[in-house]
Homo-oligomer: A and B are copies of this chain.
């Protein structure tokens, strides 16, 4: 590591994202400033603005890294359609019960635009997963995507944001099975509609 404020380089953006995750984690969305992120990343504040339009965008991008799409793909999606519902729900449960999620919940409550951007990241990941699973594009895919997103958004809303009963009383294992199987139903129905052979 060189000392002093670094100028733009291929690694600078990643450096800023790492710093942002740290600052958001320590201070929460509201208290975190782009200036503090720049200081932590040891870069000029103008560089943060150069790479990221707004605090919301920086936040979403750094949380996106918190999710680590490559790990999700490798561990959750790539093993295939069988058992995918429960694997996804186990991942979602761990994510939403992690410390990272605490400020996602808080800040999404305060800032609907952020909730929407964050949801956009998840929708993008679903589209990528659908590609990997080989679901062809078309109306069936769009409809089952709408169903899957409703299930995920519904679990997050009812269990983690509104903390409604009986969702909050489910144990981790129950939640993974109950919601995972609901999600698996969506996945299997989509596969069956696209390819009758897949329904077995």
Residues in chain A within 8 A of chain B (CB atoms): 109, 112, 115-116, 119-120, 123, 142-143, 145-147, 149-159, 161-167, 169-170, 174, 178-179, 182, 185-186
Q: Which residue of chain B has its CB nearest to the CB of A118?
A: B162
* Contact call A150/B154, Cβ cutoff below 8 A: yes
Known: A147-B179, A153-B157. 11 other contacts (CB 8 A): A119-B158, A119-B162, A119-B164, A120-B164, A123-B165, A147-B182, A149-B154, A150-B151, A150-B155, A150-B179, A185-B185
The reply to whether A158 and B146 form a contact with Cβ atoms under 8 Å apart is: yes
Q: A186 to chain B: which residues have CB within 8 Å?
A: 182
Q: Is the interface of A mostly helix, strand, loop or mixed?
A: helix
Query: Contacts of A166 on B, CB cut-off 8 Å?
Result: 142-143, 145-146
Q: Which 5 A-B pairs have the closest CB atoms?
A: A154-B154, A150-B154, A153-B154, A142-B166, A153-B157
Copies of this chain per assembly: 2
CB distance from A167 to the nearest CB of B (A): 5
| Cβ-defined contact, A178 with B115, below 8 A | no
Given known contacts A164-B120, A165-B123, A169-B142, is B158 in contact with A155 (CB within 8 Å)? no
Residue of B nearest to A151 (CB): B154
* Cross-interface CB contact of A157 among B120, B146, B154, cutoff 8 Å: B154
Most B-side CB within 10 Å, residue of A116, A143, A150, A159 = A150
Task: Kindly list chain B residues whose C-beta atoms are within 8 Å of the C-beta of A162.
Answer: 112, 115-116, 119, 153
Max count, chain B CB within 10 A of own CB: residue among A120, A123, A146, A165: A146
Partner of A170, one of B146, B153, B159: B146
Residue numbers in B under 8 Å from A163 (CB-CB): 116
Chain B positions within 8 Å of A149 at CB level: 154, 158, 164, 167
- Output the least CB separation between A102 and chain B (Å): 15
- Give the complex CA separation of A179 and B145 in angstroms: 11
| A149 closest partner in B (C-beta) | B158
